[in-house]
Amino acid sequence: MAVNKEVAASYRPYWDGELETMPRAVLGEYQLKLLKETVNLAYHRSPYYRQSFAKVGLSPDDIHTKIKKFSGADMINPCRGSNGKGFFVEKGWRSFSFKAGEDVENTFLCLEKGWWLISGVATNLLENHWQDLHKQRGRDKIAGEGFWGRGNMFKILKRTLLLVVVACILLMLVFIEREQPVVRSLPVLVKSRVEDRGGTWVPPAQIPVPLQKAVIATEDRSFYTNLGVSFEGIARSVLVDLLSGSFQEGGSTITQELARNQLLTPEKTISRKLKEMVLALMITRDFSKQDILNMYLNSVYFGHGAYGADAAARTYFGRPVSALSFAQCTLLAGLPQAPSYFDPLKNYQAARERQGQVLQSMVQAGDLDQSGAGKIWRAPLNLRR
């Protein structure tokens, strides 16, 4: 499109400071002409700008009807920016000082955001071609134009991420639908496995409260308040994984451990971890916290071939779980983290150190005071030999 140099020349005295002010009527006429020229340039030279104009319902022919006409109190006199070019805005709207060579794009961006702003376009804009302006800025193509343009790549990235999210949601829904019957039959599954291993299923009333509190304080302090998943624990374990450069186990709740031990394979992968989290949420939805804790204590491995708290009590102390002392409960509660290493019949010192950690966890959780923890620590364990 041809650029109207006569328009620029006729108003040059105002920009060069030869006249103190430009009459408001003249200013409005000048600005509308310049803006019309700017819109036409942007509209015809950039598909990206054409799409953006369409978003706000603008076209070059709309410029006199969509842009507000300024008069009276709505106008302010032009003032000078750092480059000596003037501009005016509607009263109450924010002012902008444009750098030379950026006026076309900045004027348009104001329109794209829905601001009815008429910019004082620099005089040299009307004396140069569109391509020259972009050469001054070190590029030959308009941003967003072409397949690898900035705007196009951003759209591709957004759509790709959206597809990934949708795919993950669909896969999760399929997984939930498939696993729902298995989750609901979990108590039967756990009980049958305990009995297959020679253990005895015990109801919650026969599991000592100190053992329950010790396990919760040590393994999952937010057990009664979380949804089966500890997002704080997951974030902490992810940070550890990133720092160590490997995928480690960690950040799991009691519910997640129950899901992993009973419903999943033992490999350490991201997909298995995600399944574990979904299953934990499903288990929390379908069962009470007491039921979940009871299934966990009846099935978790305590070492020395003992699955479940009752089998562990008989293995280490020669008595049923219901007859355990407070001290014996705290020793037993520390074993599931590393059953072989903390086995008190093979590594008594390590087991005692672990018992001390359990007691401190109970103090921190408010289940014991320091004096009470000390008394329990000194109490006899009466291990089987």
Read off the pLDDT of residues 280-315 as tens digits, 9 standing for 90 and up: 999 999 999 999 999 999 999 999 999 999 999 999
Q: Mean pLDDT over residues 377-383, rounded? A: 94
Three-state secondary structure call for residue 74: helix
Q: Mean pLDDT over residues 208-226, rounded? A: 95
* pLDDT for residue 245: 54
Percentage of the chain modeled with pLDDT above 90: 38
Beta strands in the chain (DSSP E): 79-80, 86-87, 301-303, 306-307
The residue among 378, 364, 182 whose CA lies nearest residue 282 is: 182
* pLDDT for residue 364: 96
* pLDDT for residue 324: 97
* pLDDT for residue 20: 45
Q: Are strands 79-80 and 86-87 parallel, antiparallel or unpaired?
A: antiparallel
* pLDDT for residue 349: 95
Class of domain 185-378: mainly alpha
* pLDDT for residue 114: 33
Q: 356 to each of 111, 228, 300, 315, 353, how far by Cα in Å?
A: 68, 27, 21, 21, 5
Q: Is the pLDDT of residue 2 over 70?
A: no
Integer Cα distance of 144 and 298 in angstroms = 62
Q: Mean pLDDT over residues 157-177, rounded? A: 81
CA triplet 305, 274, 189: central angle to 5 degrees? 40
Position 192 confidence tier, pLDDT thresholds 50, 70, 90: very high
Domain residue spans in the chain? 5-145, 147-184, 185-378
Write out pLDDT tens, residues 99-156: 333 444 344 333 333 333 333 333 333 333 334 434 444 444 444 445 555 557 778 8
Q: Mean pLDDT over residues 257-273, rounded? A: 85
Q: Is the pLDDT of residue 184 over 50?
A: yes
